[in-house]
């Protein structure tokens, strides 16, 4: 990528623009000197149709020529005033990014008092405010829908959590939701497939998978489950707990409920154990700011995974 931002490409663009503009001027000048008198002549191009229909070789009208000269002059002036010539920002220093920032700042200046008003309110009080929920719903559709979906039910294929159920990987208290959106989260399940001493390879992973399925009341092979229990208690309980209820401080999921981030089939659980999982919730503090995060947190709290979730 660095090859496209070095000084060569800067000059390549500058010369390309200037040569193109000046070439247009030269072509116009050559057309104007073809007939110095600029008067209509009887010269023809030699093309004849229907025996008598001839194509005359007359110069362009003066007003047309000067109109084209004006476009060349305009192009040169524009190149000086606005960013056209490579890295040169133009006399006005205008940029699309700068213009966008001005527009964003103009809007934010208008809505900031409203955001600040909600920021002073308790998160549960904001969640109960209809107007606040309409605003935060639009924020969700803009910033969160791409991963968690329009209905906030997530995606198992990608490992994006469902925000409407009663399951929280990192905790569902107001402060925990704010922390998740503000600073992000990094979920990591180590891969045990390459460490046969820990799990016993894929066969051992299958045993553990059957035991894990038994924890949430899913169908399982009792013989494999019994073998998997020992491996679970030795390796997996450090994060998920002896009872399998997980540890929100680490983001270790509860294995005893009916919520599965990547799927509950034996094959999916074996895949998780052997290959591991890595999933990140990006931090939004620098992009959204405290006030918008406060509104979004209230919206998440109100999604039916609401204020009473633990």
Question: Residue 65 carries which DSSP code?
Answer: H
Give the separation between CA 148 and CA 309, rounded to whole angstroms.
19
303: phi then psi, degrees, rounded to nearest 5: -80, 10
Distance CA 229, CA 58 (A): 96
d(CA 263, CA 216): 13
The alpha carbons of the chain give a radius of gyration, in whole angstroms, of 34
Q: Which two tokens stand for residue 213?
A: 């399925």
Residue 148 annotated as binding site: yes
Please indicate if the annotation marks 38 as binding a ligand.
no
Show the DSSP H helices in the chain as ranges.
Answer: 7-33, 62-81, 96-119, 123-127, 130-143, 145-148, 174-183, 201-215, 222-231, 237-240, 266-275, 285-301
| Six token digits for residue 253 | 């999921």
Q: Show Cβ contacts of residue 151 under 8 Å, excluding neighbours closer than 6 positions.
A: 164
Answer yes or no: is 144 a known binding residue: yes
- Is 239 labeled as ligand-binding? yes
First to last CA, the chain: 47
Q: Has 281 been labeled as part of a binding site?
A: yes
The answer to whether 189 is annotated as binding is yes
Any binding-site annotation on 147? yes
Residue 35 annotated in ligand binding: no
Tokens matching residue 191: 């891969």
Binding site members = 144, 147-148, 189, 236, 239-240, 281
Binding site members for heme c = 144, 147-148, 189, 236, 239-240, 281
């Amino acid at each position: 990528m660095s090859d496209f931002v070095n000084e060569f490409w800067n000059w390549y663009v500058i010369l390309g623009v200037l040569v193109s503009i000046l070439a247009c001027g030269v072509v116009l000048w050559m057309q104007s000197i073809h007939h110095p008198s600029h008067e209509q002549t009887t010269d023809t191009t030699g093309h004849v149709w229907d025996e008598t229909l001839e194509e005359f070789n007359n110069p362009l009208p003066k007003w047309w020529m000067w109109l084209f000269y004006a476009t060349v002059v305009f192009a040169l002036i524009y190149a000086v005033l606005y960013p056209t010539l490579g890295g040169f920002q133009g006399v006005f220093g205008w940029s699309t990014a700068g213009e966008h920032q001005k527009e964003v700042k103009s809007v934010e200046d208008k809505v900031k008092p409203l955001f600040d008003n909600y920021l002073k309110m308790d998160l549960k009080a904001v969640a109960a405010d209809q107007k606040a929920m309409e605003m935060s719903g639009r924020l969700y559709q803009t910033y969160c829908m791409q991963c968690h979906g329009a209905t906030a039910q997530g995606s198992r294929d990608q490992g994006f959590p469902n925000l409407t159920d009663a399951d929280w990987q990192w905790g569902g208290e107001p402060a925990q939701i704010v922390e998740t959106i503000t600073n992000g989260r990094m979920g990591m399940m180590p891969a045990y497939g390459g460490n046969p001493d820990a799990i016993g390879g894929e066969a051992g992973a299958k045993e553990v998978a059957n035991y894990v399925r038994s924890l949430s009341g899913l169908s399982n092979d009792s013989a494999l489950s019994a073998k998997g229990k020992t491996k679970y208690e030795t390796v997996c309980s450090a994060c998920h707990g002896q009872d399998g209820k997980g540890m929100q401080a680490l983001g270790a999921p509860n294995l005893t409920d009916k919520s599965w981030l990547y799927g509950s089939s034996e094959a999916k659980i074996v895949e998780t154990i052997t290959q591991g999982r890595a999933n990140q919730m990006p931090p939004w503090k620098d992009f959204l700011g405290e006030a918008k995060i406060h509104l979004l947190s209230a919206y998440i709290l109100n999604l039916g995974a609401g204020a009473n979730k633990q």
